[in-house]
């Protein structure tokens, strides 16, 4: 079996490869092909991969700058690309921030710009996959994961597509570490817009008792990432990215106080990593120092311990679980998949983020049951924005993209959306798709 990783020069690729190396025999992996357009990055990431403890087995590795070569004959294609790199991510964040709006690279207008650059590239990869590996599954890591996954399912010939996000698994692992119990998360929503309404242990929902203990356990409050009083009033555990919805003004003020956006911090960290690797530093120890520092900044120190190169941990766990499931190991994994009939008030063609039952070549999302009105309202608004964004990208229409951006929950203003869209198109002209309506 061959696995292709498109965007193989990404800084989290070694975590994924390490996980795959621990399952070579169990999964029947014969070849891993890594592709990236940046030859320098993939050369340096290759140094780290070749320093991994289990590297050098019978497994064949190839490193390509042509996606077609990497995809040909693959059984699974991992899509993990960043069109425009860190430079465009910084523009994604800075352009809205100059107008008082949080950019945020997934759920905010920054995610909108990233989708505009990325979805055309993802659709190209999907067409190549159908041509060169017609029975392959495409596993999408690329952000904004909900938009990209839905765009692939609805506007490409490839139907074997699921999207992965490690935020829910990080929450589960953090709670399991705290409780010293294996749990099931009763989770529902969209990518980066979901809630845990139950925490099940041996047939019992212990979420109410967790909420009761919050005030006496500051460590647990830190783990969940929201104020105790807010979680109590909500009665659920929100996805960490919902802080940008529930505490939007505070998030803007916090970012202003820091002075540097997340993209600027990541770029500096990445530059330091690649400079050290170029200078001949020990690849594995340098990389481990980098990933521990970066991931602890993304979440909190309670979750950081789960982001390492050990078997089945963090970033790679969800990927390995999906591979095992689609190859026939029955399991339930929280994924981005086609809704079908799971959430009745959404279209069957919409992509949702739900626990999914996996079996051989089967992904079936589990119905979440009743959804509260406040969550329903947010989900409908976000999904309306996502659908409109995808439509604008595939139609290559300025008017449709403007309409879509005006629907983003953080903007809600046509004129503000127009200012942001025009600046995106002007400052990212190399990567931004041409728009038939033109700029006015």
Please write the tens of the pLDDT for every residue from 213-225. 887 777 767 777 7
Does residue 71 fall inside a structural domain? Answer: yes
3-state secondary structure 12-67: CHHHHHHHHHCCHHHHCCCEEEEECCCHHHHHHHHHHHHCCCCCCCCCEEEEECCH
pLDDT value at residue 439: 43
CA 315 to chain centre: 10
Percent of the chain with pLDDT over 70: 93
- Residue among 179, 169, 163 nearest 313 (CA): 169
Please write the tens of the pLDDT for every residue from 265-320. 999 999 999 999 999 999 999 999 998 887 665 544 344 443 445 433 567 889 99
Looking at residue 7, the DSSP 8-state letter turns out to be: T
pLDDT value at residue 301: 39
pLDDT value at residue 223: 73
Give me the residues of the chain with pLDDT under 70, please.
57, 220, 295-314, 433-440
Please write the tens of the pLDDT for every residue from 273-282. 999 999 999 9
Looking at residue 82, the DSSP 8-state letter turns out to be: -
Please write the tens of the pLDDT for every residue from 144-198. 999 999 999 999 999 999 999 989 998 898 889 888 999 999 999 999 999 999 9
What's this model's pTM, rounded to 2 decimal places?
0.94
- Residue among 171, 126, 169, 132 nearest 148 (CA): 126
| CATH number, position 57 | 3.40.50.720
To 10 degrees, the CA torsion angle through 122, 123, 125, 126? 120
Does residue 111 fall inside a structural domain? Answer: yes
Q: Is residue 106 within 8 Å of 145, Cβ to Cβ? A: yes
Does residue 255 fall inside a structural domain? Answer: no
H-type helices in 163-247, by residue range?
A: 167-179, 207-213, 218-224, 228-234, 243-246
Taking the alpha carbons at both ends of the chain, their separation in whole angstroms is 51
Retrieve residue 190's tokens.
């969209």
- Average pLDDT score over the chain: 91
3-state secondary structure of 84: coil
CA distance 346 to 384: 10
- Residue among 339, 358, 379 nearest 194 (CA): 379
3-state secondary structure of 135: coil
Domain total in the chain: 1
Does residue 329 fall inside a structural domain? Answer: no
Does residue 175 fall inside a structural domain? Answer: no
Percent of the chain with pLDDT over 90: 79
Does residue 380 fall inside a structural domain? Answer: no
Does residue 437 fall inside a structural domain? Answer: no
Give the chain's largest Cα–Cα span.
60
- Residue among 31, 48, 42 nearest 66 (CA): 42
Looking at residue 434, the DSSP 8-state letter turns out to be: P
Does residue 335 fall inside a structural domain? Answer: no
3-state secondary structure 374-415: HHHHHHHHHHHHHHHHHHHHHHCCHHHHHHHHHHCCCCCCHH
| Lookup result for tokens 């503000």 | 416
C-beta atoms surrounding 188 within 10 Å: 26
Task: Give the structural domain span for 104.
Answer: 2-163
pLDDT value at residue 292: 83
Please compute, for residue 87, the number of CA atoms within 13 A of its CA located in the half-sphere on the CB side. Answer: 6
């Amino acid at each position: 079996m061959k696995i292709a990783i498109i965007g193989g020069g990404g800084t989290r690729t070694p975590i994924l490869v390490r996980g795959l190396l621990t399952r070579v025999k169990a999964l029947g992996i014969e070849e891993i092909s890594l592709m990236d357009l940046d030859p320098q990055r993939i050369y340096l990431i290759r140094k780290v991969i070749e320093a991994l403890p289990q590297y050098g087995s019978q497994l064949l590795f190839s490193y390509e700058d042509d996606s077609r070569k990497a995809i040909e004959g693959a059984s699974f294609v991992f899509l993990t690309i960043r069109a425009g790199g860190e430079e465009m991510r910084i523009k994604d964040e800075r352009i809205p921030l100059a107008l008082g709006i949080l950019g945020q690279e997934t759920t905010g207008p920054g995610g909108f710009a990233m989708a505009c650059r990325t979805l055309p590239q993802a659709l190209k990869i999907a067409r190549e996959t159908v041509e060169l590996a017609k029975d392959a599954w495409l596993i999408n890591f690329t952000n904004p994961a909900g938009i990209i996954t839905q765009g692939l399912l609805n506007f490409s010939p490839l139907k074997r597509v699921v999207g992965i996000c490690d935020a829910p698994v990080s929450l589960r692992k953090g709670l399991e570490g705290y409780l010293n119990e294996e749990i099931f998360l009763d989770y529902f929503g969209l990518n980066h817009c979901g809630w845990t309404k139950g925490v099940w242990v041996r047939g019992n929902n212990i979420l109410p008792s967790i909420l009761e203990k919050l005030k006496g356990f500051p460590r647990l409050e830190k783990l969940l990432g929201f104020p105790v009083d807010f979680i109590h009033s909500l009665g659920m555990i929100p996805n960490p990215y919902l802080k940008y919805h529930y505490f939007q003004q505070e998030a803007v003020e916090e970012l202003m106080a820091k002075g540097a956006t997340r993209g600027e911090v990541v770029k500096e960290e990445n530059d330091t990593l690649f400079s050290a690797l170029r200078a001949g530093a020990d690849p594995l120890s340098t990389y481990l120092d980098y990933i521990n520092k970066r991931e602890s900044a993304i979440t909190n120190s309670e979750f950081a311990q789960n982001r390492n190169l050990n078997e089945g941990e963090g970033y790679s766990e969800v990927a390995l679980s999906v591979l095992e499931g689609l190859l026939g190991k029955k399991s339930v994994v929280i994924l981005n998949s086609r809704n079908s009939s799971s959430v009745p008030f959404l279209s069957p063609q919409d992509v949702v983020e739900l626990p999914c039952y996996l079996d051989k070549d089967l992904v079936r999302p589990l119905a979440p049951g009743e959804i509260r009105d406040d969550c329903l309202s947010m989900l409908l608004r976000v999904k309306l924005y996502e659908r409109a964004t995808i439509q604008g990208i595939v139609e290559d229409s300025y008017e449709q993209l403007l309409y879509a951006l005006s629907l983003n929950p953080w903007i809600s203003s046509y004129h503000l959306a127009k200012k942001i869209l025009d600046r995106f198109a002007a400052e990212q002209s190399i990567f931004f798709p041409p728009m038939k309506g033109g700029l006015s």
